[in-house]
Amino acid sequence: MTAFSTILNIPKALLGTLETLGFSTMTEIQQQSIGPILEGKDILAQSKTGSGKTLAFGIPAAIRTNVETNKPQTIVITPTRELAEQVAMELRKIAAYKANLKILTLYGGVPLRAQAGSLAKGAHILIGTPGRIQDHLAKGTLTLESIKTLVLDEADRMLDMGFYDEIVKIGSNMPKNRQTLLFSATFPPKIEALAKALLKNPLTIKVDTVQ
Ligand code: ADP
Ligand code: MG
């Protein structure tokens, strides 16, 4: 069990927030991935449900967000609106340490126009489903030129739901030199194909424990 405080350059204010939330030590996936993510590496990570993947990508995303601009810098793609909401809730808890860090969810069942209004006001971390992200791209209410990190959360589930082409297409709308992080509970062959299409020289991490 390694303390969050061992991460190089982790802001004191974030350590305080993590402590308040009752998170003192990192889970295994967090321990193996947060450092390389902060260094800018692409990551292909497999670890079980409940192992703390959200903060594994969420902590680096919050640390690296530049709040001097209101452009989106991280986009997290999740299979369902429920998961998008869950990820947003978890990230909002830790993002509290950084003033003005804005997190916005993009999923169906909410009027496009209301989301477009929120996008126009600016947000740093976007969390959404493939279909709704595509809708905004098609309508021109979202551009991804400022994205530094693309996160694919629950990638195996997204492929089960038939989102392969959508995900690759969304990826083609952002800078080639972005960082890409793929998180999955399982590694079927289709995941390897998706990784080949989107990741550059990734560090592969496989963890069997949830703690
Ligand atoms: P996964 O995405 O791998 O299924 P989650 O990110 O949803 O897992 O995390 C599962 C639970 O573990 C959440 O309730 C989360 O708040 C909690 N958690 C995450 N990181 C830690 C930590 N370092 N210490 C204690 N609990 C944690
Ligand atoms: Mg998760």
Assess whether the C-beta atom of 175 lies below 6 angstroms from ligand 1: no
* CA 47–ligand 2 middle distance (angstroms): 9
Give the tokens for residue 133.
């992200």
Please give the pLDDT value at position 1.
81
Chain segment 65-109, per-residue pLDDT in tens: 999 999 999 999 999 999 999 999 999 999 999 999 999 999 999
Q: Show the tokens assigned to 111.
A: 């009027």
Ligand 1 pocket check for 133: Cβ under 6 Å: no
Domains of the chain: 4-206 (3.40.50.300)
Q: What's the 64 CA to ligand 1 centre distance in angstroms?
A: 20
Chain segment 18-31, per-residue pLDDT in tens: 999 999 999 999 99
DSSP characters for 1-51? --BGGGSTT--HHHHHHHHHTT--B--HHHHHHHHHHHTT--EEEE--TTS
For residue 86, how far is its CA from the centre of ligand 2 (angstroms)? 8
What stretches in the chain show pLDDT beneath 70? Answer: none
Question: How far does the centroid of ligand 2 lie from the alpha carbon of residue 183, in Å?
Answer: 8
| Closest CA to ligand 1's atom 9 | 52
Amino acid at 37: I
Nearest to 64 by CA among 94, 88, 85, 93: 94
| Alpha carbon nearest to ligand 1 atom 19, residue | 52
Contact 87, 78 (CB under 8 A): yes
- ipTM over cut 0.90: yes
Q: Would you state the pLDDT for residue 17?
A: 97
- Residue 108 near residue 81 (C-beta atoms within 8 A): yes
State both tokens at 20.
């308040």
The answer to whether the CB of 51 is under 6 A from ligand 1 is yes
CA-to-CA separations, 20 to 15, 97, 99, in angstroms, rounded: 9, 11, 17
The answer to whether 145 touches 61, Cβ cutoff 8 Å, is no
**Model-wide pTM > 0.90:** yes
